[in-house]
């Protein structure tokens, strides 16, 4: 079976690599020649643990190739996956121009029956849109089917998630077509749900938005904890032990970032508006998410008596650990506010510094976690990298001008931090 994967971002590159690992012949296509050249030389465009090793092994085995030639790659394939980005447009609706452009080009490569699978996160109705674009641009009269197969992998654990899916969702016009795509996953899971196309498209948005809702709910509870003296970690444990609720995605913190949750909550809202449904729950989820770093900054401002002339260390720039992705990362909102109000910012991340320099050139980027503590009036932990959990806090405290530690992810024990001499502040827990 020959597979063509269009788009070598997180979803495309990981999906293509895993399919090649499962024994299929895969060509990964991207219009970015630099990216494709890099991949041919074993240079990964993203940081994802284990990815390079798998790419190298499957390239060496002759099952994984890279190309900028979409049309001929489609011609030689049985199943074509669309994995291009759908970033939020100006009005919050996903930007569909890449999906449209790719559908037009796919049509030119259709020389016999093929299945075109949409893996990009797209609004309800995109299956039909892709079908009609391909139909209008066919260069010869061939049959084809369009299938929706949303992706549920997380950055940072993308390989593991792809090899161990909770479920595979396939939206197809009929069962036979759905089962052809399902067969690709047969060695990975028995939990395959074949649905209609619109439902598959909505399952993706509903899943991400529901997870975001869990996070915002706990963040709102954390605000209440700060006001009432309750402890959000104890509340989380008690709530999460109810099997109907589950303990995952209940961690209070600075809010959710990344390229998916903020975009997909907006996307769901936009779909609702298109159909005149007032999905005000999603408005609130996004509002809590915007307020969370602002509340955190307000507490820090109060503790320090303003930011003017202050020197502040920031630990963690990636939107979450184990990735160099900084999209919608809370560190940037926080750094922008600090810098605007006159603070000097020393920023450190184990792997996301290069990406961060372009995003916030006014911060000073340092080479080690300890360098970000030198003579600072406060240290803010934004991303819960393991390196920070294991830091030598004796050295950290000695380096700081004032021992003010703001933990935006609740990774430390308040009493232990107080015993180590810190004025320790976290989310939804009693201050030091």
CA 432 – CA 426 distance, rounded (Å) = 9
Which DSSP category does 256 fall into?
Answer: -
What's the min distance (Å) between Cβ of 378 and ligand UGA?
A: 21
Q: Least CB distance from residue 122 to ligand UGA, whole Å?
A: 11
The two most distant CA atoms of the chain are separated, in Å, by 75
Q: Contact 195/167 with Cβ under 8 angstroms?
A: no
DSSP state of 309: T
Nearer to ligand UGA, 144 or 152 (CB): 152
Q: Give the chain's radius of gyration (CA, Å).
A: 23
How many CA within 13 A on the CB side of residue 239? Answer: 18
Helices then strands, each counted (H, E), the chain:
17, 14
Minimum CB distance to ligand UGA smaller for 256 or for 422: 256
Query: Checking DSSP bridges between strand 423-425 and strand 114-118, what pairing results, if any?
Result: unpaired
Query: Shortest gap between Cβ of 283 and ligand UGA (angstroms)?
Result: 18
- Comparing CB distances to ligand UGA, the nearer of 96 and 304 is 96
Pairing of strands 423-425, 2-6: unpaired
The β-bridge partners of 231 are none
- Minimum separation from the CB atom of position 71 to ligand UGA (A): 27
Residues contributing to the site for ligand UGA (CB under 6 A):
121, 151-155, 208, 211, 215, 249-251, 253, 256-258, 260-261, 319-320
Distance CA 110, CA 215 (A): 43
Tokens standing for residue 326: 């900084």
CA-CA distance, 331 to 357, in Å (whole number)?
A: 12
Least distance between ligand UGA and beta carbon 249 (Å): 4
Distance CA 366, CA 317 (A): 12
Q: Which residue in 4, 28, 83, 260 is the catalytic one?
A: 260
What does the CA dihedral 34, 40, 41, 45 come to, rounded to 10 degrees? 50
Residue (93 or 173) nearer to ligand UGA, CB:
93
Shortest distance, position 335 Cβ to ligand UGA, whole Å: 16
Where b means 16+ CB within 10 Å and e means fewer, 72-98 reads ebbbebebbbbbbbbebeeebbbebeb
C-beta closer to ligand UGA: residue 145 or 325: 325
Q: Which of 123, 258 has the CB closer to ligand UGA?
A: 258
To the query of whether residue 4 is one of the catalytic residues in this protein, the response is no
Catalytic residues: 260
């Amino acid at each position: 079976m020959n597979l063509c994967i269009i788009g070598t971002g997180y979803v495309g590159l990981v999906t293509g690599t895993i399919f090649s690992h499962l024994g299929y012949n895969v060509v990964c296509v991207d219009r970015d020649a630099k990216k494709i050249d890099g991949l041919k030389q074993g240079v990964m465009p993203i940081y994802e643990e284990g990815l390079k090793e798998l790419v190298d092994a499957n390239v060496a085995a002759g099952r994984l190739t890279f190309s900028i030639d979409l049309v001929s790659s489609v011609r030689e394939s049985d199943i074509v996956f669309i994995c291009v980005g759908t970033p939020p447009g100006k009005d919050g609706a996903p930007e569909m121009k890449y999906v449209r452009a790719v559908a037009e080009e796919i049509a030119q490569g259709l020389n016999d029956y093929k299945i075109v699978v949409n893996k990009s996160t797209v609004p309800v109705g995109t299956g039909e849109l892709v079908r009609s674009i391909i139909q209008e641009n066919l260069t010869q009269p061939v049959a084809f089917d369009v299938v929706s197969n949303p992706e549920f992998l997380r950055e940072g654990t993308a390989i593991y998630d792809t090899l161990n899916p909770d479920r595979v969702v396939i939206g197809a016009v009929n069962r036979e077509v759905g089962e052809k795509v399902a067969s690709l996953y047969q060695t990975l899971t028995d939990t395959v749900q074949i649905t209609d196309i619109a439902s598959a498209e909505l399952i993706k948005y509903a899943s991400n938005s529901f997870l975001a809702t869990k996070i915002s709910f706990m963040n709102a509870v954390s605000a209440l904890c700060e006001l009432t003296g309750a402890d959000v970690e104890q509340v989380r444990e008690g709530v999460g032990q109810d099997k109907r609720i589950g303990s995952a995605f209940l961690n209070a913190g600075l809010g959710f970032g990344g390229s998916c949750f903020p975009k997909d909550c907006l996307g769901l809202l936009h779909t609702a508006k298109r159909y005149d449904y007032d999905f005000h729950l999603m408005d609130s989820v996004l509002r809590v998410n915007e307020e969370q770093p602002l509340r955190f900054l307000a507490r820090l401002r109060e503790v320090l008596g303003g930011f003017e002339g202050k020197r502040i260390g920031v630990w963690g720039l990636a939107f979450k650990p184990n990735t160099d992705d900084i999209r919608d990362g809370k560190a940037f909102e926080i750094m922008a506010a600090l810098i605007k109000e006159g603070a000097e910012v020393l920023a450190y991340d184990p792997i996301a510094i290069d990406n961060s320099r372009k995003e916030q050139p006014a911060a000073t980027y340092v080479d080690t976690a300890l360098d970000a503590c030198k003579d600072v009036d406060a240290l803010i932990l934004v991303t819960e990298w393991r390196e920070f959990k294991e830091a030598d806090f004796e050295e950290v405290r000695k380096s700081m001008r004032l021992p003010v530690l703001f933990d935006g992810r609740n990774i430390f024990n308040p009493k232990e931090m107080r015993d180590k001499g810190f004025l320790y502040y976290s989310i939804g827990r009693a201050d030091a």
